[in-house]
Amino acid sequence: MKLIDALRVDTPSKISFVGSGGKTSAMLHLSEEWPEKSLLAVTTHIGKNQIKNIPQHLTWSNAQEIHTSTIHKTTIITGPGDIQNENKLEGIDPSLWEYLKLLADTSNSPLFMESDGSKNRPLKAPAEHEPAIPHWVNHVVVTVGLSAIGKLLSEENVHRPEIYSTLTGLEIGRPVTLNSILKMLLNVRGGLKNIPRSARRTVLLNQADTVRDRSSLLAIETQLLTHFDAVITTSLRKPDEEKEESERQNEVWRVSEKIAGIILAAGNSKRMGTPKPLLEWKGIPFVRICALHAITAGLSPVHIIAGQEFDRIKQAVEDLPVQVIMNKDWNDGQSSSVRLGIKTLPKKTGGAVFLLVDQPQIPVDLIRKLVAEHTTSLSSIILPETGGRRANPVLFDRRTYHALSELQGDSGGRMIFSKYPIRSIPWYDETILLDVDTQADYERLMQIQT
């Protein structure tokens, strides 16, 4: 997986990199992976050697020097040379930030910015004046160099160790722990500092190849996702490393995002003759079982799209952390529920698993497997396959949302399968093929033991 896909970069992207242990590397990788020209910038000091391979370098000291016509290839913009250090360049003056945005917009280029310094340490804590993030930035990536784990909390390994100690409670001279990094990232004066309210938030855990127990990284993802929209685990080569080394180490291992659950429960149950969401399996209403499975699998948020049985469905799940949404057009077919489900999702979800209320037997492990596949592939559509047949539930990545929102009639998400590549995962249990449409189906379900 490319970093440009992991960060979901598009032309309007204006990404600010803060933190340590990979900011410049990430920024340069994005410029290499973007198929057209891109715009890079710094709002803080940067070493001249770090930008030597970028095709074009412009320095700005006043607005009169800014011309869109100068951006005809990948370009980095900095301030003038640092009079105190001939090997460094200053950042762009804040008075020019609005012009920088205008330049990115008019040149139709994504903008990748470095917004604080770390003195080449793998870990840092921000000072009072950091990070320098323009208010119009729409994505902030907080980078961390995991090679700091196990090393002593000192100036040699951590930029501004005293501030790091204050934010995390870790004493100076003690080994840096993953838990202290988690505390720093979740602190409003640490990893969350100065991020614009509407910006997407991502943690980039870099140098993952230095961590022996990678399962420990999985353990903190859930906690990070309470305050961030994505956690990317990667190992990026440095800009001055040889290409062979780049090919060996430059890997994006995982992209963890918030995956929503949408339970479709608004059908008219015409063939069944009784509301299917309220049928019971093992003494529990179908809709409640589906909701419990979605919650247990870690889907968040969980939305239940209901129709004429809205009140009774809401009562069946009233003690659960789910939202029941009324589909006033429920009689128009399944597409109306799909469209409403997509419309009500938070904008920053990475995808959604669609669950059918007449399949309460879908196991939690299957939902988790779909989500796990998404973290390593970011595939557009992921579904189980059993007995040579495609089955439910289906995970739709956020890039499919627009197509789903345009569905019409009594059709579900399968109507867009031809528009996107589909990734199938094998599943051993063919009982997932059963959906309860008739009394005979219900009787077959009652025989299933899980």
Residue that wins the pLDDT comparison between 57 and 403: 403
CA-nearest of 132, 124, 122, 113 to 190 is 124
DSSP symbols for 198-237: TSEEEEEEE-GGG-S-THHHHHHHHHHTTT-SEEEEEE--
pLDDT at 246 over 50: no
CA-nearest of 432, 338, 416, 420 to 384 is 432
Average pLDDT of the residues in 422-428: 96
Lowest mean pLDDT among 64-78, 180-194, 388-402: 64-78
Superfamily of domain 259-446 in CATH is Spore Coat Polysaccharide Biosynthesis Protein SpsA; Chain A (3.90.550.10)
With contact defined as beta carbons under 8 Å apart, do 187 and 167 qualify? yes
Average pLDDT of the residues in 388-393: 95
DSSP symbols for 229-286: SEEEEEE---TTS-HHHHHHH-EEEEEEE-EEEEEEE----TTTSS-GGG-EETTEEH
pLDDT at 347 over 80: yes
pLDDT at 68: 65
pLDDT at 139: 97
Q: Are strands 394-397 and 381-386 parallel, antiparallel or unpaired?
A: antiparallel
- The domain spans of the chain are 3-257, 259-446
Query: Would you state the CATH architecture of domain 3-257?
Result: 3-Layer(aba) Sandwich (3.40)
pLDDT at 48: 83
CA-nearest of 402, 370, 397, 403 to 385 is 370
Average pLDDT of the residues in 16-40: 91
Average pLDDT of the residues in 14-28: 93
pLDDT at 63 over 90: no
pLDDT at 402 over 60: yes
Average pLDDT of the residues in 294-306: 97
Q: Which residue has the tokens 């969980």?
A: 302
- Please state the pTM of the whole predicted model: 0.90
Say which residues have a Cβ less than 8 Å from residue 216's Cβ, sequence separation at least 6: 178
Q: What confidence category does residue 66 fall into, taking pLDDT thresholds of 50, 70 and 90? A: low
pLDDT at 56 over 70: yes
pLDDT at 53: 80
